Structure 1
Amino acid sequence: MAIVSNTVTYLDGDVLLEAFFAFDDEFSGRRPAVLINHTWVGRDDFVAEKAKKLAALGYVGFAVDMYGKGILGSNPEENMKLMQPFMADRAMLQKRMKAALAAVKLMPWVDDGKIAAIGFCFGGLCSLDLARTGVDIKGVVSFHGLLAAPDNTQGNTIKAKILALHGRDDPMVPVEQMLAFEQEMTEAGADWQLHTYGNTMHAFTNPVANDPTFGTVYQPDADRRSWIAMQNFLTEIFG
Protein backbone atom coordinates (compact mmCIF):
# COMPACT_ATOMS: atom_id res chain seq x y z
CA MET A 1 0.00 0.00 0.00
CA ALA A 2 1.31 3.41 -0.98
CA ILE A 3 -0.67 6.49 -0.06
CA VAL A 4 -0.16 9.22 -2.63
CA SER A 5 -1.00 12.77 -1.54
CA ASN A 6 -0.78 16.22 -3.04
CA THR A 7 -2.63 19.52 -3.29
CA VAL A 8 -4.87 20.80 -6.05
CA THR A 9 -6.15 24.32 -6.62
CA TYR A 10 -9.69 25.18 -7.67
CA LEU A 11 -11.88 28.27 -7.82
CA ASP A 12 -15.06 29.60 -6.29
CA GLY A 13 -15.66 32.65 -8.45
CA ASP A 14 -12.39 34.55 -8.22
CA VAL A 15 -11.32 33.01 -4.87
CA LEU A 16 -8.38 30.63 -5.24
CA LEU A 17 -8.73 27.56 -3.01
CA GLU A 18 -6.31 24.70 -2.35
CA ALA A 19 -7.46 21.23 -1.34
CA PHE A 20 -5.30 18.42 -0.01
CA PHE A 21 -6.05 15.00 -1.44
CA ALA A 22 -4.85 11.44 -0.88
CA PHE A 23 -5.47 8.02 -2.41
CA ASP A 24 -3.93 4.55 -2.36
CA ASP A 25 -2.26 3.79 -5.69
CA GLU A 26 -2.58 0.04 -5.12
CA PHE A 27 -6.30 0.34 -5.86
CA SER A 28 -7.05 0.43 -9.57
CA GLY A 29 -9.80 2.28 -11.32
CA ARG A 30 -12.16 4.91 -10.00
CA ARG A 31 -13.27 4.84 -6.40
CA PRO A 32 -15.61 6.75 -4.05
CA ALA A 33 -14.48 10.15 -2.81
CA VAL A 34 -15.01 11.75 0.58
CA LEU A 35 -14.90 15.52 0.99
CA ILE A 36 -13.42 16.44 4.39
CA ASN A 37 -14.44 19.79 5.85
CA HIS A 38 -12.18 21.56 8.31
CA THR A 39 -12.85 23.24 11.64
CA TRP A 40 -12.90 27.01 12.05
CA VAL A 41 -9.08 26.96 11.92
CA GLY A 42 -8.90 26.24 8.19
CA ARG A 43 -7.51 23.43 6.04
CA ASP A 44 -4.84 22.17 8.42
CA ASP A 45 -2.90 18.98 9.20
CA PHE A 46 -5.87 17.56 11.13
CA VAL A 47 -7.96 17.17 7.98
CA ALA A 48 -4.93 16.17 5.90
CA GLU A 49 -4.42 13.20 8.22
CA LYS A 50 -8.10 12.29 7.88
CA ALA A 51 -7.66 12.34 4.08
CA LYS A 52 -4.78 9.85 4.39
CA LYS A 53 -6.81 7.61 6.72
CA LEU A 54 -9.69 7.60 4.25
CA ALA A 55 -7.26 6.82 1.42
CA ALA A 56 -6.11 3.76 3.35
CA LEU A 57 -9.76 2.64 3.47
CA GLY A 58 -9.94 2.72 -0.33
CA TYR A 59 -11.41 6.17 -0.92
CA VAL A 60 -10.09 9.41 -2.35
CA GLY A 61 -9.84 11.76 0.62
CA PHE A 62 -10.29 15.39 -0.41
CA ALA A 63 -9.69 17.97 2.33
CA VAL A 64 -11.73 21.00 1.32
CA ASP A 65 -10.48 24.59 1.63
CA MET A 66 -13.23 27.00 2.68
CA TYR A 67 -11.09 30.09 3.34
CA GLY A 68 -8.60 30.43 0.47
CA LYS A 69 -5.15 29.11 -0.37
CA GLY A 70 -2.80 29.27 2.61
CA ILE A 71 -5.30 30.96 4.95
CA LEU A 72 -5.31 29.54 8.49
CA GLY A 73 -6.33 31.01 11.81
CA SER A 74 -3.78 30.96 14.63
CA ASN A 75 -6.02 31.76 17.63
CA PRO A 76 -9.74 31.74 18.49
CA GLU A 77 -10.18 35.39 17.52
CA GLU A 78 -8.72 34.83 14.05
CA ASN A 79 -10.67 31.59 13.65
CA MET A 80 -13.94 33.35 14.47
CA LYS A 81 -13.14 36.15 12.02
CA LEU A 82 -12.58 33.59 9.26
CA MET A 83 -15.66 31.51 10.03
CA GLN A 84 -18.18 34.25 10.79
CA PRO A 85 -18.82 35.46 7.22
CA PHE A 86 -19.91 31.94 6.26
CA MET A 87 -22.14 31.62 9.32
CA ALA A 88 -23.75 34.94 8.39
CA ASP A 89 -24.16 34.04 4.70
CA ARG A 90 -25.02 30.38 4.38
CA ALA A 91 -25.68 30.75 0.63
CA MET A 92 -22.00 31.75 0.25
CA LEU A 93 -21.01 28.72 2.34
CA GLN A 94 -23.12 26.42 0.19
CA LYS A 95 -21.69 27.88 -3.03
CA ARG A 96 -18.16 27.25 -1.78
CA MET A 97 -19.06 23.66 -0.88
CA LYS A 98 -20.46 23.14 -4.37
CA ALA A 99 -17.17 24.41 -5.82
CA ALA A 100 -15.35 21.71 -3.85
CA LEU A 101 -17.83 19.10 -5.05
CA ALA A 102 -17.27 20.15 -8.67
CA ALA A 103 -13.49 20.00 -8.17
CA VAL A 104 -13.45 16.49 -6.70
CA LYS A 105 -15.64 15.16 -9.52
CA LEU A 106 -12.94 16.17 -12.03
CA MET A 107 -10.25 14.03 -10.39
CA PRO A 108 -9.31 11.02 -12.55
CA TRP A 109 -9.44 8.55 -9.64
CA VAL A 110 -12.94 9.50 -8.53
CA ASP A 111 -16.19 7.71 -9.27
CA ASP A 112 -18.32 10.84 -9.47
CA GLY A 113 -21.47 8.83 -8.72
CA LYS A 114 -20.11 7.87 -5.30
CA ILE A 115 -19.30 10.98 -3.28
CA ALA A 116 -19.80 11.72 0.41
CA ALA A 117 -18.79 14.57 2.71
CA ILE A 118 -17.66 14.59 6.32
CA GLY A 119 -16.73 17.48 8.56
CA PHE A 120 -15.64 18.53 12.02
CA CYS A 121 -17.19 21.38 14.06
CA PHE A 122 -17.69 24.18 11.48
CA GLY A 123 -16.94 21.53 8.87
CA GLY A 124 -19.81 19.42 10.14
CA LEU A 125 -22.14 22.30 9.40
CA CYS A 126 -20.54 22.67 5.94
CA SER A 127 -21.23 19.01 5.17
CA LEU A 128 -24.81 19.26 6.38
CA ASP A 129 -25.40 22.44 4.40
CA LEU A 130 -24.19 20.73 1.22
CA ALA A 131 -26.80 18.03 1.81
CA ARG A 132 -29.43 20.64 2.63
CA THR A 133 -29.08 22.15 -0.86
CA GLY A 134 -30.46 18.91 -2.25
CA VAL A 135 -27.36 17.90 -4.22
CA ASP A 136 -27.22 14.30 -5.38
CA ILE A 137 -24.45 12.81 -3.24
CA LYS A 138 -24.54 9.58 -1.26
CA GLY A 139 -24.24 10.87 2.28
CA VAL A 140 -22.74 13.26 4.80
CA VAL A 141 -21.27 12.83 8.29
CA SER A 142 -21.03 15.59 10.88
CA PHE A 143 -18.55 15.14 13.76
CA HIS A 144 -19.49 17.48 16.64
CA GLY A 145 -20.90 19.82 14.01
CA LEU A 146 -23.05 22.89 14.43
CA LEU A 147 -26.61 21.79 13.64
CA ALA A 148 -28.50 25.08 13.22
CA ALA A 149 -30.44 25.20 9.96
CA PRO A 150 -29.85 27.93 7.36
CA ASP A 151 -32.70 30.14 6.23
CA ASN A 152 -32.51 29.31 2.52
CA THR A 153 -33.08 25.54 2.26
CA GLN A 154 -36.59 25.09 3.60
CA GLY A 155 -38.65 22.92 1.29
CA ASN A 156 -35.64 21.18 -0.25
CA THR A 157 -35.66 17.40 -0.40
CA ILE A 158 -32.44 16.01 1.09
CA LYS A 159 -31.15 13.19 -1.12
CA ALA A 160 -27.99 12.42 0.85
CA LYS A 161 -28.15 10.08 3.84
CA ILE A 162 -27.28 11.92 7.07
CA LEU A 163 -25.19 10.83 10.05
CA ALA A 164 -24.66 13.36 12.85
CA LEU A 165 -22.22 12.37 15.63
CA HIS A 166 -22.70 14.56 18.65
CA GLY A 167 -21.52 15.03 22.23
CA ARG A 168 -24.36 15.21 24.76
CA ASP A 169 -22.54 17.92 26.74
CA ASP A 170 -21.56 20.08 23.75
CA PRO A 171 -22.31 23.65 24.92
CA MET A 172 -22.30 24.93 21.33
CA VAL A 173 -25.25 22.72 20.35
CA PRO A 174 -27.96 22.85 23.03
CA VAL A 175 -30.61 20.16 23.25
CA GLU A 176 -33.16 22.46 21.61
CA GLN A 177 -30.94 22.66 18.52
CA MET A 178 -30.68 18.86 18.41
CA LEU A 179 -34.47 18.53 18.52
CA ALA A 180 -34.89 21.18 15.83
CA PHE A 181 -32.35 19.32 13.67
CA GLU A 182 -34.30 16.07 14.04
CA GLN A 183 -37.50 17.86 13.00
CA GLU A 184 -35.76 19.58 10.08
CA MET A 185 -34.31 16.33 8.75
CA THR A 186 -37.65 14.53 9.10
CA GLU A 187 -39.53 17.27 7.26
CA ALA A 188 -36.92 17.23 4.46
CA GLY A 189 -37.53 13.50 3.94
CA ALA A 190 -33.96 12.63 4.84
CA ASP A 191 -32.65 9.21 5.84
CA TRP A 192 -31.05 10.54 9.02
CA GLN A 193 -29.28 9.30 12.15
CA LEU A 194 -28.14 11.22 15.21
CA HIS A 195 -25.69 9.42 17.51
CA THR A 196 -25.22 11.09 20.89
CA TYR A 197 -22.20 10.28 23.06
CA GLY A 198 -22.64 10.67 26.81
CA ASN A 199 -20.21 12.67 28.95
CA THR A 200 -18.80 14.19 25.77
CA MET A 201 -18.23 17.84 24.88
CA HIS A 202 -17.40 19.71 21.66
CA ALA A 203 -14.32 18.81 19.55
CA PHE A 204 -14.22 15.27 20.94
CA THR A 205 -12.16 13.99 17.96
CA ASN A 206 -9.32 16.48 18.42
CA PRO A 207 -6.49 15.14 20.63
CA VAL A 208 -5.25 18.66 21.45
CA ALA A 209 -8.66 19.91 22.62
CA ASN A 210 -8.45 20.45 26.39
CA ASP A 211 -10.41 23.53 27.37
CA PRO A 212 -13.42 22.52 29.48
CA THR A 213 -14.34 26.14 30.19
CA PHE A 214 -14.71 26.72 26.44
CA GLY A 215 -16.42 23.36 26.02
CA THR A 216 -13.80 21.67 23.82
CA VAL A 217 -12.40 18.43 25.27
CA TYR A 218 -10.95 15.36 23.54
CA GLN A 219 -12.88 12.18 24.35
CA PRO A 220 -10.98 9.10 23.10
CA ASP A 221 -13.92 6.70 23.36
CA ALA A 222 -16.22 9.00 21.39
CA ASP A 223 -13.41 9.63 18.88
CA ARG A 224 -12.94 5.90 18.29
CA ARG A 225 -16.65 5.07 18.23
CA SER A 226 -17.52 7.92 15.89
CA TRP A 227 -14.83 6.91 13.38
CA ILE A 228 -16.15 3.33 13.38
CA ALA A 229 -19.70 4.67 12.89
CA MET A 230 -18.47 6.71 9.93
CA GLN A 231 -16.73 3.70 8.37
CA ASN A 232 -19.89 1.60 8.66
CA PHE A 233 -21.95 4.43 7.18
CA LEU A 234 -19.59 4.85 4.20
CA THR A 235 -19.61 1.09 3.56
CA GLU A 236 -23.41 1.20 3.50
CA ILE A 237 -23.89 4.23 1.26
CA PHE A 238 -21.22 3.20 -1.25
CA GLY A 239 -22.31 -0.45 -1.35
Structure 2
Amino acid sequence: MQRILTTLFLSLLSSWLYAQSHSCCLDATRAFAAFAADKNFNSRHENPRPYRHVSDIGKDITFPVAGGQPAHAYELRAKGRSHLWLFVFHEWWGLNDHIKKEAEKLYHDLNGQVNVLALDLYDRKVADTREEAARLMQNAQEARIRAIIRGAAAYAGKKARIATIGWCFGGGWSMQAALMLGKQARACIIYYGMPEQNVEKLKELQAPVLGIFAKQDRWITPEVVKTFEQAMQEAGKSVEVHLYDADHAFANPSNPRYQSEATAQAYEQSLRFLKAHLLEKGK
Protein backbone atom coordinates (compact mmCIF):
# COMPACT_ATOMS: atom_id res chain seq x y z
CA MET A 1 0.00 0.00 0.00
CA GLN A 2 2.83 2.40 0.91
CA ARG A 3 4.46 1.83 -2.50
CA ILE A 4 1.16 2.51 -4.28
CA LEU A 5 0.62 5.72 -2.33
CA THR A 6 4.19 6.86 -3.04
CA THR A 7 3.80 6.18 -6.76
CA LEU A 8 0.49 8.05 -6.81
CA PHE A 9 2.04 11.01 -4.98
CA LEU A 10 4.97 11.21 -7.41
CA SER A 11 2.62 10.97 -10.37
CA LEU A 12 0.44 13.78 -9.02
CA LEU A 13 3.51 15.89 -8.21
CA SER A 14 4.92 15.43 -11.73
CA SER A 15 1.56 16.36 -13.26
CA TRP A 16 1.31 19.45 -11.04
CA LEU A 17 4.83 20.57 -11.92
CA TYR A 18 4.17 20.04 -15.62
CA ALA A 19 1.03 22.15 -15.45
CA GLN A 20 2.75 24.82 -13.38
CA SER A 21 5.75 25.01 -15.69
CA HIS A 22 3.36 26.07 -18.45
CA SER A 23 1.86 28.80 -16.30
CA CYS A 24 3.05 32.38 -16.74
CA CYS A 25 2.36 32.91 -13.05
CA LEU A 26 4.99 30.52 -11.67
CA ASP A 27 8.57 31.66 -11.27
CA ALA A 28 11.47 29.45 -12.29
CA THR A 29 12.60 28.66 -8.76
CA ARG A 30 9.30 27.41 -7.34
CA ALA A 31 8.85 24.77 -10.05
CA PHE A 32 12.04 23.01 -8.97
CA ALA A 33 11.99 24.03 -5.30
CA ALA A 34 8.72 22.10 -4.91
CA PHE A 35 10.81 18.94 -5.06
CA ALA A 36 12.50 19.89 -1.79
CA ALA A 37 9.29 19.01 0.04
CA ASP A 38 9.55 15.43 -1.24
CA LYS A 39 11.47 13.19 1.16
CA ASN A 40 12.20 10.75 -1.65
CA PHE A 41 13.85 13.53 -3.66
CA ASN A 42 15.93 14.54 -0.65
CA SER A 43 17.02 10.96 -0.05
CA ARG A 44 18.50 10.88 -3.55
CA HIS A 45 21.03 13.50 -2.42
CA GLU A 46 23.46 12.07 0.09
CA ASN A 47 25.40 14.64 2.07
CA PRO A 48 28.48 15.70 0.09
CA ARG A 49 31.81 14.25 1.08
CA PRO A 50 34.24 16.77 2.61
CA TYR A 51 36.51 18.43 0.07
CA ARG A 52 38.63 21.58 0.10
CA HIS A 53 39.60 23.08 -3.22
CA VAL A 54 42.98 24.80 -3.44
CA SER A 55 43.89 26.69 -6.59
CA ASP A 56 46.73 28.86 -7.86
CA ILE A 57 44.58 30.48 -10.55
CA GLY A 58 40.97 30.55 -9.33
CA LYS A 59 39.79 33.26 -6.97
CA ASP A 60 36.66 34.40 -5.18
CA ILE A 61 35.36 37.71 -6.45
CA THR A 62 32.40 40.04 -6.03
CA PHE A 63 30.65 42.10 -8.68
CA PRO A 64 27.93 44.77 -8.56
CA VAL A 65 24.25 43.87 -8.74
CA ALA A 66 21.74 46.58 -9.57
CA GLY A 67 19.40 47.34 -6.69
CA GLY A 68 21.06 44.98 -4.22
CA GLN A 69 24.19 43.80 -2.48
CA PRO A 70 27.19 42.68 -4.58
CA ALA A 71 27.20 39.08 -5.76
CA HIS A 72 29.85 36.45 -5.09
CA ALA A 73 31.44 34.12 -7.65
CA TYR A 74 34.48 31.94 -8.28
CA GLU A 75 36.44 33.13 -11.29
CA LEU A 76 39.14 31.70 -13.55
CA ARG A 77 40.42 34.21 -16.06
CA ALA A 78 41.45 33.19 -19.58
CA LYS A 79 45.19 33.06 -20.23
CA GLY A 80 44.92 35.81 -22.82
CA ARG A 81 42.37 38.48 -23.62
CA SER A 82 39.11 36.71 -24.38
CA HIS A 83 35.46 37.67 -24.80
CA LEU A 84 34.42 34.03 -24.29
CA TRP A 85 32.76 33.17 -20.97
CA LEU A 86 31.30 30.11 -19.28
CA PHE A 87 28.79 30.70 -16.48
CA VAL A 88 28.67 27.72 -14.09
CA PHE A 89 25.57 27.12 -11.95
CA HIS A 90 25.82 25.11 -8.75
CA GLU A 91 23.59 22.34 -7.41
CA TRP A 92 21.22 22.82 -4.49
CA TRP A 93 24.20 22.63 -2.09
CA GLY A 94 25.43 26.07 -3.09
CA LEU A 95 28.79 27.21 -4.45
CA ASN A 96 30.90 24.65 -2.61
CA ASP A 97 34.42 23.45 -3.34
CA HIS A 98 33.15 20.56 -5.47
CA ILE A 99 31.68 23.08 -7.93
CA LYS A 100 34.86 25.16 -7.85
CA LYS A 101 36.80 22.03 -8.75
CA GLU A 102 34.44 21.30 -11.64
CA ALA A 103 34.73 24.89 -12.87
CA GLU A 104 38.53 24.61 -12.85
CA LYS A 105 38.43 21.30 -14.72
CA LEU A 106 36.30 22.89 -17.43
CA TYR A 107 38.69 25.84 -17.56
CA HIS A 108 41.70 23.60 -18.20
CA ASP A 109 39.88 21.36 -20.68
CA LEU A 110 38.88 24.45 -22.65
CA ASN A 111 42.60 25.21 -22.86
CA GLY A 112 42.39 28.33 -20.74
CA GLN A 113 40.76 30.18 -23.63
CA VAL A 114 37.52 30.88 -21.76
CA ASN A 115 36.79 32.98 -18.70
CA VAL A 116 34.94 30.73 -16.27
CA LEU A 117 32.61 32.25 -13.69
CA ALA A 118 30.89 29.99 -11.15
CA LEU A 119 28.00 32.05 -9.81
CA ASP A 120 26.83 31.93 -6.20
CA LEU A 121 23.03 32.00 -6.24
CA TYR A 122 22.79 31.66 -2.44
CA ASP A 123 24.94 34.66 -1.45
CA ARG A 124 27.69 32.71 0.35
CA LYS A 125 25.39 30.18 2.01
CA VAL A 126 26.55 26.58 1.53
CA ALA A 127 24.78 23.43 2.73
CA ASP A 128 26.55 20.44 4.24
CA THR A 129 23.37 18.41 4.73
CA ARG A 130 20.42 17.71 2.46
CA GLU A 131 18.09 19.30 5.01
CA GLU A 132 20.04 22.56 4.77
CA ALA A 133 20.14 22.28 0.97
CA ALA A 134 16.37 21.82 0.81
CA ARG A 135 15.86 24.97 2.89
CA LEU A 136 18.27 27.00 0.77
CA MET A 137 16.62 25.91 -2.47
CA GLN A 138 13.12 26.59 -1.13
CA ASN A 139 14.13 30.03 0.15
CA ALA A 140 15.98 31.12 -2.99
CA GLN A 141 14.39 34.24 -4.47
CA GLU A 142 13.99 34.35 -8.23
CA ALA A 143 14.29 38.14 -8.37
CA ARG A 144 17.66 38.00 -6.60
CA ILE A 145 18.96 35.19 -8.79
CA ARG A 146 17.98 36.99 -11.97
CA ALA A 147 19.65 40.15 -10.67
CA ILE A 148 22.84 38.13 -10.03
CA ILE A 149 22.76 36.77 -13.59
CA ARG A 150 22.26 40.26 -15.03
CA GLY A 151 25.13 41.51 -12.85
CA ALA A 152 27.36 38.70 -14.12
CA ALA A 153 26.51 39.58 -17.72
CA ALA A 154 27.38 43.22 -17.06
CA TYR A 155 30.64 42.12 -15.41
CA ALA A 156 31.53 40.02 -18.48
CA GLY A 157 30.77 42.98 -20.75
CA LYS A 158 28.61 43.73 -23.76
CA LYS A 159 31.03 41.97 -26.12
CA ALA A 160 30.99 38.75 -24.11
CA ARG A 161 29.91 35.50 -25.76
CA ILE A 162 28.55 33.31 -23.00
CA ALA A 163 27.83 29.61 -22.51
CA THR A 164 26.03 28.24 -19.45
CA ILE A 165 26.21 24.93 -17.61
CA GLY A 166 24.57 23.70 -14.43
CA TRP A 167 23.49 20.65 -12.45
CA CYS A 168 20.17 19.89 -10.73
CA PHE A 169 18.91 23.25 -9.36
CA GLY A 170 21.66 24.90 -11.39
CA GLY A 171 20.65 22.99 -14.51
CA GLY A 172 17.34 24.80 -14.58
CA TRP A 173 19.09 28.11 -14.00
CA SER A 174 21.56 27.36 -16.79
CA MET A 175 18.59 27.37 -19.15
CA GLN A 176 16.94 30.43 -17.62
CA ALA A 177 20.24 32.31 -17.88
CA ALA A 178 20.57 31.38 -21.55
CA LEU A 179 17.10 32.80 -22.14
CA MET A 180 18.01 35.99 -20.28
CA LEU A 181 21.30 36.48 -22.13
CA GLY A 182 19.65 36.76 -25.53
CA LYS A 183 22.11 37.14 -28.39
CA GLN A 184 25.07 36.89 -26.02
CA ALA A 185 24.20 33.24 -25.31
CA ARG A 186 26.24 30.75 -27.35
CA ALA A 187 25.50 27.39 -25.70
CA CYS A 188 23.43 25.99 -22.83
CA ILE A 189 24.01 22.71 -20.98
CA ILE A 190 21.50 21.28 -18.52
CA TYR A 191 22.35 18.39 -16.22
CA TYR A 192 19.09 16.87 -14.89
CA GLY A 193 17.57 20.27 -14.12
CA MET A 194 14.01 21.42 -14.83
CA PRO A 195 13.98 22.57 -18.47
CA GLU A 196 11.83 25.40 -19.75
CA GLN A 197 8.78 23.95 -21.51
CA ASN A 198 6.89 27.11 -22.45
CA VAL A 199 7.06 27.26 -26.25
CA GLU A 200 6.58 31.02 -26.39
CA LYS A 201 9.51 31.57 -24.01
CA LEU A 202 11.65 29.09 -25.91
CA LYS A 203 11.10 31.04 -29.13
CA GLU A 204 13.28 33.76 -27.57
CA LEU A 205 16.18 31.37 -26.98
CA GLN A 206 19.27 32.16 -29.07
CA ALA A 207 21.55 29.29 -28.01
CA PRO A 208 21.55 25.57 -28.81
CA VAL A 209 20.87 23.32 -25.82
CA LEU A 210 22.51 20.10 -24.67
CA GLY A 211 20.43 18.16 -22.17
CA ILE A 212 21.97 15.50 -19.93
CA PHE A 213 19.28 13.48 -18.17
CA ALA A 214 18.81 10.20 -16.30
CA LYS A 215 16.39 7.42 -17.22
CA GLN A 216 15.85 6.50 -13.56
CA ASP A 217 15.14 10.09 -12.49
CA ARG A 218 11.70 10.18 -10.86
CA TRP A 219 11.48 13.98 -10.93
CA ILE A 220 13.01 15.19 -14.17
CA THR A 221 11.51 12.10 -15.77
CA PRO A 222 11.97 10.84 -19.33
CA GLU A 223 8.41 12.11 -19.93
CA VAL A 224 9.43 15.62 -18.85
CA VAL A 225 12.45 15.38 -21.12
CA LYS A 226 10.30 14.28 -24.07
CA THR A 227 7.92 17.19 -23.52
CA PHE A 228 10.90 19.55 -23.42
CA GLU A 229 12.25 18.17 -26.71
CA GLN A 230 8.86 18.57 -28.35
CA ALA A 231 8.58 22.15 -27.08
CA MET A 232 12.05 22.99 -28.43
CA GLN A 233 11.16 21.52 -31.81
CA GLU A 234 7.88 23.43 -31.87
CA ALA A 235 9.80 26.62 -31.07
CA GLY A 236 12.24 25.85 -33.89
CA LYS A 237 15.26 25.60 -31.59
CA SER A 238 18.30 23.33 -31.61
CA VAL A 239 18.37 20.66 -28.89
CA GLU A 240 20.50 17.59 -28.29
CA VAL A 241 19.47 15.19 -25.53
CA HIS A 242 21.30 12.28 -23.92
CA LEU A 243 19.49 9.99 -21.49
CA TYR A 244 21.78 7.83 -19.36
CA ASP A 245 20.77 4.67 -17.52
CA ALA A 246 21.37 6.35 -14.19
CA ASP A 247 19.63 8.14 -11.33
CA HIS A 248 19.24 11.82 -10.51
CA ALA A 249 22.54 13.55 -9.61
CA PHE A 250 24.55 10.70 -11.13
CA ALA A 251 27.39 13.05 -12.15
CA ASN A 252 28.15 14.28 -8.63
CA PRO A 253 31.26 12.44 -7.36
CA SER A 254 30.25 13.18 -3.77
CA ASN A 255 27.04 11.20 -4.32
CA PRO A 256 27.09 7.46 -3.45
CA ARG A 257 24.93 6.95 -6.58
CA TYR A 258 27.66 8.49 -8.68
CA GLN A 259 28.21 6.62 -11.95
CA SER A 260 31.69 7.23 -13.27
CA GLU A 261 31.15 5.81 -16.76
CA ALA A 262 27.98 7.81 -17.44
CA THR A 263 29.64 10.91 -15.95
CA ALA A 264 32.68 10.55 -18.20
CA GLN A 265 30.50 10.15 -21.29
CA ALA A 266 28.31 13.12 -20.34
CA TYR A 267 31.39 15.25 -19.69
CA GLU A 268 32.85 14.42 -23.10
CA GLN A 269 29.54 15.38 -24.70
CA SER A 270 29.55 18.64 -22.76
CA LEU A 271 33.14 19.46 -23.67
CA ARG A 272 32.51 18.70 -27.34
CA PHE A 273 29.41 20.92 -27.26
CA LEU A 274 31.25 23.83 -25.64
CA LYS A 275 34.16 23.59 -28.03
CA ALA A 276 31.85 23.52 -31.05
CA HIS A 277 29.50 26.32 -30.02
CA LEU A 278 31.67 28.54 -27.82
CA LEU A 279 35.31 28.10 -28.86
CA GLU A 280 34.67 27.67 -32.60
CA LYS A 281 31.46 29.59 -33.28
CA GLY A 282 31.71 32.07 -30.43
CA LYS A 283 34.77 33.88 -31.74
SS in 2 for 1:170: coil
Instruction: Output aligned runs, 1:1-239, within 5 Å.
Output: 4-12=57-65, 13-23=67-77, 27-56=79-108, 57=110, 58=112, 59-68=114-123, 70-86=124-140, 90=142, 93-105=145-157, 112-133=159-180, 135-136=182-183, 137-147=185-195, 149=197, 154=201, 156-198=203-245, 200-210=246-256, 217-238=257-278, 239=280
Instruction: Give 1:90 shift.
Output: 4.8
CA change 1:164–1:83 in 2 (3 A) is: same
Q: Which amino acid aligns with 2:116?
A: G
Larger Rg: 2
Larger % of strand: which?
Answer: 1
Question: How many residues get paired?
Answer: 220
Q: How far apart are the structure 2 equivalents of 1:95 and 1:15?
A: 10
Are the equivalent residues in 2 in contact too, given 1:117–1:139 (CA < 8 A)?
A: yes
- TM-score normalised by the chain length of structure 1: 0.82
1:213 is matched with: none
Instruction: Give 1:144 shift.
Output: 2.1
1:182-206 Cα offsets, whole Å, 9 max, x none, are: 12222332211111112x0111111
Give structure 1 stretches of 5+ with no counterpart: 107-111, 211-216
Give structure 2 stretches of 5+ with no counterpart: 1-54
- TM-score normalised by the chain length of structure 2: 0.70
1:49-101 Cα offsets, whole Å, 9 max, x none, are: 12211221222221111011x21122222212211244xx6565444322222
SS in 2 for 1:138: strand
Instruction: Give 1:3 shift.
Output: 5.8
Instruction: Give 1:160 shift.
Output: 0.9
Higher relative contact order (CA 8 A, sep 6+): 2
Instruction: Give 1:148 shift.
Output: 5.3
Are the equivalent residues in 2 in contact too, given 1:170–1:201 (CA < 8 A)?
A: yes
Q: Which amino acid aligns with 1:130?
A: A
Are the equivalent residues in 1 in contact too, given 2:196–2:202 (CA < 8 A)?
A: no
| Alignment root-mean-square deviation, CA | 2.4
Instruction: Give 1:237 shift.
Output: 0.6
Larger % of helix: which?
Answer: 2
CA change 1:3–1:177 in 2 (3 A) is: same
Q: Which amino acid aligns with 1:20?
A: Y
Q: Which amino acid aligns with 1:208?
A: S
Higher mean C-alpha deviation, range 37-46 or range 70-79: 70-79
CA change 1:148–1:158 in 2 (3 A) is: closer
Q: How far apart are the structure 2 equivalents of 1:141 and 1:188?
A: 18
